[in-house]
């Protein structure tokens, strides 16, 4: 569990500065979803799919993140 939390931080924090388009938010969501699912005993693939979709869907929602720009 402790190793998974460390991996979550290592993989998601570098993506935090470049989440201004749907693709990078989807990638960050997929990485986070896979790590969280793996840490909680779920399927990493299902977690990646759900996290990726959630990341892309947040482009229109004001969560304190930079706004999305379609390229």
Average pLDDT over residues 1-25: 68
25 domain residue, yes or no: yes
| Structure-model confidence comparison of residues 49 and 71, the more confident one | 49
Q: Is 60 left (phi over 0), alpha (psi -120 to 50) or beta?
A: alpha
Contacts of residue 47, defined as CB under 8 A and 6 or more positions apart, other chains included, come to 33, 34, 35, 36, 37, 38
Average pLDDT over residues 26-40: 86
Q: Which domain holds residue 40?
A: 20-58
Query: Residue 70 has what DSSP assignment?
Result: -
Residues 13-39: what's their mean pLDDT? 78
Lowest mean pLDDT among 14-28, 32-46, 51-65: 14-28
**Does any domain span residue 7?**
no
pLDDT score, position 18: 63
Domain contains 49: yes
51: in domain: yes
Name the domain count of the chain: 1
């Amino acid at each position: 569990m402790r190793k998974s939390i460390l991996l979550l931080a290592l993989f998601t924090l570098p993506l935090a500065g470049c989440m201004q388009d749907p693709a990078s938010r989807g990638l960050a969501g997929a990485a986070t979803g896979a790590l969280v699912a793996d840490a909680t005993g779920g399927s990493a693939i299902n977690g990646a799919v759900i996290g990726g979709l959630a990341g892309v869907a947040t482009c229109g929602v004001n969560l304190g993140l930079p706004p999305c720009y379609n390229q």
